[in-house]
Chains A and B, each alone.
Chain A
Amino acid sequence: MAVTYEPLATTTLGSAAASVTFSSISGSYTDLVLVVNARSSRTAVSTAPINITFNSDTGSNYSNTFLFGNGSTTGSSRGTNANNIYTGDMSSSASSYAGFANLLLSINNYSNTTTYKTTIARCNSANAFAEAVCGLWRSTSAINSITITEGSTNNWVADSTFTLYGIKAE
């Protein structure tokens, strides 16, 4: 049996940054898993979106459908013809909780050049939401870079961590 699930790259922020990019991603794996523990510097609202783009594509080629619970209600919503995949809401500096939020994002078959790319994510912030998000990038290109952006035009704070893993099927 082939051993897999390998860490490909990790970024730990030493100072605040608006986005993190993993580039030159090898095409030799089957799936990618992105693990994020981060917090936004946003002060106006207690959460901030965490958005994903691939291969520096900022066109309106993305969409998502998501499910959330916020402590009092559940709901579902979507984004259509968007410029990124919304993958959830992270905690921000406006929150009375000091915790960082978590994102676990899977990109199955990221390097095939036949299908569009569908992502599956779980995102949770202690102060606001638990979410599950299905995203779509309407491109058959192999994914070779991923950019994770703070979606309220603020920053990810220092000590936010971003790790990319590769899983290879035999």
Chain B
Amino acid sequence: MSPILGIIASSKAAAAGDYESIATVTVGSGGSATVSFTSIPATYAHLQVRMIGRSTNAGANITTGQITVNSTTSTNMAYHRISGDGSSATAYALADTSSWDDLLLLPQDGTTASIYSAAILDILDYANTNKNKTLRLLGGVDLNGSGRLVFGSGLVNSTTAISSITFATASTYKQYSHFALYGIKSA
């Protein structure tokens, strides 16, 4: 029995095989404007995406990636988050939007080479067609003297099962950015 702590709210003791790798994307040398997981099977209870990332944008600050599900262009998404930049904590929320666009942090390419952000994204009951879907994301980037982290919650105001997740960014994801999708089973 392997306790899958911190992933599911109940922190139940899960049987071996409850946590499975579904798909992985490693960005190649040309970079990539988007990273997508499609045809996600509905056979799990929850999804988790674990990533590291960096933007090819030439700035020397921190930028963001945009997350959408089911390729939607509808403004049926919303999010709120608390963020810390090493000096103060701030809160922000946005409703009636078509992506979660201020949760996923990425260092720009003018920052110290080799620094990548990290994030963990959870979508519980993603395949349930009776519920609207809620995302949780914890991620950040530290640049040794500056940095930012975000703890956020997102809503897609739809009961449609989530079958695809897309990560976009204004520039491209830099080589070696890595996104891994996992499925968590229920009993």
Name A's B-contacting residues (CB within 8 A).
1-7, 30-31, 33, 35, 63-69, 74-78, 80-81, 104, 106, 108-109, 112, 114-116, 118-120, 122, 132-136, 138, 140, 165, 167-170
Contact = CB atoms under 8 A, between A and B. Distances in A.
A114 B114 contact: yes
B172 to A, nearest CB: 17
A112 B24 CA distance: 15
28 contacts: A1-B20, A2-B21, A3-B20, A5-B18, A30-B50, A63-B142, A63-B144, A66-B149, A67-B83, A67-B149, A67-B151, A78-B86, A108-B51, A112-B176, A115-B116, A116-B112, A116-B115, A118-B52, A118-B117, A132-B138, A134-B148, A136-B115, A138-B115, A167-B19, A167-B50, A167-B182, A169-B180, A170-B23
B78 interface: no
Interface string B134-152: 0000111111111111010
Closest 8 pairs between A and B when the two form their complex, measured CB to CB: A134-B140, A76-B84, A67-B84, A78-B86, A65-B147, A169-B180, A5-B19, A136-B142
B165 interface: no
A75 B89 contact: yes
Contacts of B168: none
Interface of B: 2, 4-6, 16-24, 50-52, 54, 82-89, 112, 114-120, 138-149, 151, 176, 178, 180, 182-183
A63 B5 CA distance: 26
A76 to B, nearest CB: 3
Contact of A80 (B17, B22, B116, B144): B144
Nearest to B25: A169
Given A75-B89, A78-B142, A116 B2 contact: no
Contacts, number: 169
A5 B116 CA distance: 23
A110 B64 CA distance: 23
A109 B24 CA distance: 12
Contacts of B54: 115
A132 B148 CA distance: 11
Given A106-B50, A115-B116, A136 B21 contact: no
Contact of A106 (B84, B118, B151): B118
